[in-house]
Amino acid sequence: MKWIDLSVVINEKTPVYPGDPKTKIEPAGILEKDGYEDHYVSIGTHAGTHIDAPRHMVKNGRSLDQISVDKFIGKGVLIKISDKKFDLDAIKSTNIEQVDIVLFYTGISEVYHQSEYYDNYPAITKEIAEYLVNKKVKMVGVDMCSVDHEPFPVHRILLRNEILIIENLTNLQELENEEFKIYAFPIKLEIDGAPARVLAEIH
C-alpha cells in the first residue's frame, strides 16, 4: 500500500483565485514567550486544495457540514487530458462507475505559482458534466483552479446534482496506471466550501 498526498501546502504564498482574499497567518502564541505556539489563520474557503459544496453556487444547496462523510471517500478514476482539451468520447471510453471519484489530470498544476495557472486553464464542457451526472459519480476533482470559466455552468450542473468538486489538486501524475482510493476530507464548516486534505491510497 502507498499513500500519495494530492493537496497543496497552505501558507501566505499560496495562490488564490483572482479577486479572492489572500491567506494571512499571524502568531497568536509564541513558544518562548507564552509557553506554547498558536496561530490565527485567515483563509478563503476556496484557497488551496478545497472542496465545493452545493451551496457554493446553488440557492438553498447543502453546506459541507450537511454532507454525509461517506461522500468524501471512494474509488478513484484518473483521466489524463491531453493538449488541454476535454474530449467527451475519450471520457466515455473510460470505465467510470456509480459513486466513483473522477480526477482529471491536465498537468496545469505544474505552473501552480505562475499566472498561466489562472489565465490558461482548460474547462470541462457542459456535455461532460452532464455525462458525469448520468454516471452518478460522487465527486469530480481537477488539478486546476476551477472546473470551468465564468459564468460557471459546469459548477452548477455538478453541484445541483450533489456532485462535489475538488479543485487545486497536485501530484496526479503519481496515479497514472494505478488503482486507488480517494480520501478527501474538508474542514467541517457550515458554509459553501473549505480547504481539504486529499489523499490517494494506491492498492
3-state secondary structure of 23: coil
Question: What total of structural domains would you count in the chain?
Answer: 1
Any domain includes 70: yes
Strands (E), 99-158: 101-105, 139-142
Range of the domain at 197: 2-7+45-202
> What does the pLDDT read at residue 154?
98
Any domain includes 37: no
pTM reported for the whole predicted model: 0.97
Any domain includes 19: no
> What does the pLDDT read at residue 12?
97
Any domain includes 130: yes
> What does the pLDDT read at residue 187?
96
Any domain includes 104: yes
Per-residue pLDDT of the chain (203 residues; tens, 9 = 90+): 899 999 999 999 999 999 999 999 999 999 999 999 999 999 999 999 999 999 999 999 999 999 999 999 999 999 999 999 999 999 999 999 999 999 999 999 999 999 999 998 999 999 999 999 999 999 999 999 999 999 999 999 999 999 999 999 999 999 999 999 999 999 999 999 999 999 999 98
Asked if 139 and 163 touch (Cβ cutoff 8 Å), the reply is yes
Report the DSSP beta bridge partners of residue 41: 25
> What does the pLDDT read at residue 36?
98
d(CA 69, CA 65): 9
> What does the pLDDT read at residue 182?
98
Q: Using alpha carbons, select from 88, 64, 93 the residue that is nearest to residue 184.
A: 64
Q: Using alpha carbons, select from 70, 81, 92 the residue that is nearest to residue 182.
A: 70
Q: CATH number for the domain including 91?
A: 3.50.30.50
Any domain includes 22: no
> What does the pLDDT read at residue 184?
98
Q: Which helix (H) or strand (E) holds 32?
A: helix 31-34
